[in-house]
Amino acid sequence: MRKFLLVPLFLVIYVLAGGPTALAHSGKQSYVYLGFYDSELDGRVEIPVRDLGAVLDIDFGTNRETITAALEANRNEIIAYVDSHMALESVDGDEWDIEYGAVSVLNLGADSYLLFPFDVAEDFDEAPRELVVEFDAIIDVDPDKDALLHIENDVRSGVVKNESDPILGFSTGQTVQVVALDTAPTLTQLGAVRGLGTDGVRAGAVHVLFVGVLMAPVALLARRRGFRDPAPSTLAVVRRAAVVLGAFGGGALITLWLTGLGIIDLSSRSVVAATSVSLLAVSVWAVLAWLRPSTTAREPAVIAVLGVLQGLGFGATFVDDRLDRSRAVLSLVGFSFGVAAAVVIVAALALLPMALLRRTPLAPVVLVGVAAVGSAYAAVWILDGVLDADWSLDRFANPWGVWPRNLVLALLGAALAAGLRALFAARDALRPVGPVADPEIDRTAERETVASA
């Protein structure tokens, strides 16, 4: 058991070493983000609402409602101002057209920002690795203001979702900058994408819940046996978890790759429905493993099929992160590794408290409770999609998806489970541990004995 407890510790250290860093907006400067893909270039400009209001003489107020209202009333003027104060050019001096998308609000109270996403309207055979950026919004009016330039996405240089490390700055007298990008080693590129795969699992409540429910019968029940039989040994739990996770991973990788390569293209509603149905199915399966132990004979096949549905969610995250537009095959390799690592981490954290409780009288309560939570979330997600209700379920799912909150919850659960196990051990109320013979082998041996007699 002590060796078993060390597994999640090492996995937690691994994840924390690759955790993302969040950007803290100062409210005093603007930001320019650029994204480089195989043949495309896009980006985003973020400007403090307070500064835009002062320059354009617009009263934005300080809350989301007043800022949104002022934006709607002055949208064309605001976009025209930003467009006239930013330019992207080739190193040969050819200026590219910029097309702006829907402007949004980053509400930070008095330090709120307006976000201007854009695409470069140029047909590149290959996205440029060197370009000239001009930016003097706000700076031309207030010489004390400045702006920072970030490369947000560029798999070739090993950068993805970077919002914290600027490479250049704009200030009075220095409003033109040349961006030149290097190409990182392949392992660095894979490592950068791996982090997004890990985030795709640990930040997705449906995936965390699915893996947690999947591990319940693995930790609590000996295969093809009930709670009146001896509990599985630690080695049996680890072996069965490896088989189950292998089946799940194999199924999930199929649809992840098909989606990432553009062969499968489903709407977000269809993806949510598929992952929710798989969560409901695995919750029912967990209870069936207790009520009808013989069903575990088909366990790998059933889990592989459910993994195919979960893989649609991983694929949707891959596409949403725009990794399909930049070195797709290499990105899929790194992303798949990140997904696999995160699934193992979540499984280990889920197994830990349940394995501690597997010999206690609480084992069936834990199994049904975990399955009930999974079923409830799945049912609500399915109904939300069918009724198109927009119930803002993220408010209730966030405790599972916010890192490191979900890690803290898992460790607190393990501590509580350890305490309960110690309590039942003191009362001599623990189930014995296997090994447990396979009932099919038992029946075969019995038939052979009868035949020989």
What digits encode the pLDDT tens for the residues 190-247?
999 999 999 888 778 899 999 999 999 999 998 888 888 999 999 999 999 999 999 9
Alpha-carbon dihedral sign for residues 295, 296, 300, 306: positive
Structure confidence by residue, pLDDT tens digits, 49-60: 999 999 999 999
Confidence of residue 21 (pLDDT cuts 50, 70, 90): very low
What is the arithmetic mean of pLDDT over 330-353? 95
Neighbours of 124 (CB within 10 A): 14
pLDDT of 175: 95
> What's residue 367's pLDDT?
96
Q: Is the pLDDT of residue 15 over 60?
A: no
Is residue 55 within 8 Å of residue 47, measured between CB atoms?
Answer: no
pLDDT at 120 over 60: yes
Asked if 49 and 28 touch (Cβ cutoff 8 Å), the reply is no
Distance CA 216, CA 229 (A): 16
Percent of all residues in the chain with a pLDDT value above 90, rounded to a whole number: 71
pLDDT at 22: 41
pLDDT digits (tens, 9 = 90+) for 77-97: 999 999 999 999 999 999 999
pLDDT of residue 26: 67
Confidence tier at 400 by pLDDT (50, 70, 90): low
Query: Alpha-carbon distance 214 to 201, whole Å?
Result: 15
pTM score, two decimals? 0.83
pLDDT above 80: residue 27: no
101: pLDDT strictly greater than 90: yes
pLDDT of 109: 74
Q: Which of 2-6, 315-319, 370-374, 377-381 has the lowest mean pLDDT?
A: 2-6
337: nearest Cα among 204, 190, 238, 214: 190
Average pLDDT over residues 360-366: 94
More confident residue, 160 or 391: 160
Q: Percentage of the chain with pLDDT > 70? A: 86
Judge whether residue 20 has pLDDT over 60. Answer: no
pLDDT at residue 129 in the model: 94
In this structure, what token pair is assigned to residue 377?
């979330």
| Summary mean pLDDT of the chain | 87
The domain locations on the chain are 30-184, 188-437
Asked if residue 70 has pLDDT above 90, the reply is yes
- State the pLDDT confidence band at 183, using cuts at 50, 70 and 90: very high
pLDDT per position as a tens digit, 401-441: 566 666 777 788 889 999 999 999 999 999 999 764 444 44
Flag whether pLDDT at 399 surpasses 80: no
Q: What is the pLDDT of residue 446?
A: 46
Q: Which residue has the higher pLDDT, 106 or 45?
A: 45
State the pLDDT at residue 147: 96
pLDDT value at residue 25 = 72
Q: Any idea which of 137-151, 307-321, 365-379, 395-409 has the lowest mean pLDDT?
A: 395-409
Q: What is the pLDDT of residue 62?
A: 82
pLDDT tens digits, 248-291: 999 999 999 999 999 999 998 899 999 999 999 999 999 999 99
